[in-house]
Amino acid sequence: MKAAQFASYGGPEVLRLVEVEEPHAGPDQVRIAVRAAGVNGIDWKIRAGFMREMLPLSWPAGTGIDAAGVIDEIGAGVTGVAVGDPVFGSGSQTYAEYAVLSSWAVMPSGLSFEEAAGYPAPIETAIRIINQVGIKPGQTLLVSGASGGVGSAVIQVARQRGIDVIGTAGASSQDYVRSLGAVPTTYGDGLVGRVRAIAPVDAALDIAGSGVIPQLIELTGDPAKVLSIADFSAPEHGAQVSSEPSDMAGALAQAARMFSEGAFHLPVDQAFPLEDAARAQAVSQAGHVTGRLVITVS
C-alpha cells in the first residue's frame, strides 16, 4: 500500500509517499480502508523531532493518528461492528491507504469521511481539558486560539454544557468563532482589557501556545484555573498542562451523538491528496487554520 513516511527528523520535505506492507488488525483493533486522515499539530511536531524524548521512533516512521474509512478487517475481541461499516477513530500511521484503529465510533448518517477524519484528537482533547480545568455550567471560559480544530471543539462542548465562552482568534475568524456560540475577540496587545470588557472569566484554556499564560492568569485570578495544551512552561507560572489522552472511545461516541443532534461540526478548511501530505503538514505548522485540515485517500 501507499503511505507517508519519513526516515529522519526535519521539515515537511522529509515526508515521502512510499510503498509499504499493509498493517493488520490485532486484538481489540479494526483495520480500515482509509478515506481521509486528520492532520494534527502533533503530527508535524513528531516529524520535526520536538517529541523525540517522549515518543522515540524507529526508522522509517509513519505519521498520523486520526482517520475515517471503511472497516475491512476485525481483530479478536471486537464486537459491535462489522466489515463494511464506516467508522472514524484514532490509531497510528493513518496517512496511508490502510490503517489500524484502536478506538472508533460508527459514523452517523450525514457525516462525511473528510469531516469525520478531523474529529478524534480535537473532541478527545476538548472534553479532557474542559473537565480538567474544572469549569462549571453558568461560568465563563476563555479559549485562547479558538478557531482551530481543538478550539472549535471546546466551544461546542462547553456550550452544550451551559458554559459561556469567549474565544480569541484572528480578525478574519471572528464571525466563525461567533457562529460556534462564543463571543469572539482578537488576540495580541490589549487582550486583558478586551476580555474584561466582555465578562469576568472563571477559567481559561490556552490552545495556541502563544505566550499568553500570564495574561490568562491575570484574567482568572487563579493559576490553577488556567490550562495549556501547547505551552509546556505553564507550570512555571502555576498553571496546568494537559497532554495525555484519556477516554478516546467515549469522546468519539459523544462526537457522533452531538453531530446527530446538530450540535457538533468541524468544518474542513483544506483537504489534500495523500501525495501532498508534506504540504498539509506545512500548512498545519504555519497555523491560522479555521477548522480542520485533512488528507484524502482515493
Binning pLDDT at 50, 70 and 90, where does residue 94 land?
A: very high
pLDDT at residue number 286: 86
Helices (H), 82-239: 113-117, 120-133, 149-160, 174-179, 191-198, 213-220
Task: Report yes or no on whether pTM surpasses 0.85.
Answer: yes
pLDDT class of 106 with cuts at 50, 70, 90:
very high
Stretch 253-270: mean pLDDT: 94
Distance CA(274)–CA(265), nearest Å, equals: 23
pLDDT in tens, 185-212: 998 889 999 999 999 999 999 998 878 9
Q: Summarize the confidence of residues 240-266 as an average pLDDT.
A: 92
Nearest Cα neighbor of 143 from 167, 122, 127, 160 is 167
pLDDT tens track for 135-190: 999 999 999 999 989 999 999 999 999 999 999 999 989 999 999 999 999 988 89
- What is the homologous superfamily of the domain 2-119+267-296 according to CATH? Medium-chain alcohol dehydrogenases, catalytic domain (3.90.180.10)
Q: Residue 245: what pLDDT? A: 81
Which residues, at least 6 apart from 221, have a Cβ–Cβ distance to it below 8 Å? Answer: none
Is the pLDDT at 288 greater than 80? The verdict is no
pLDDT category, 246, cuts 50, 70, 90?
confident
The percent of residues in the chain predicted with pLDDT above 90, rounded, is 84
- pLDDT top residue among 49 and 67: 67
pLDDT over threshold 90, residue 57: no
Q: Which class is domain 123-241?
A: alpha beta
Residue 114: is its pLDDT beyond 90? yes
* Amino acid in the structure at residue 126: A
pLDDT of residue 162: 96
Cell triple for residue 79?
464486537
Beta-sheet strand order (sheet of 16-19): 16-19, 2-6, 61-62
pLDDT at 52: 85
Average pLDDT in the chain? 94
- Segments making up each domain of the chain, as ranges: 2-119+267-296, 123-241
Give me the residues paired with residue 226 across strands.
204
pLDDT value at position 58? 87
**Under 8 Å between Cβ of 174 and 186:** yes
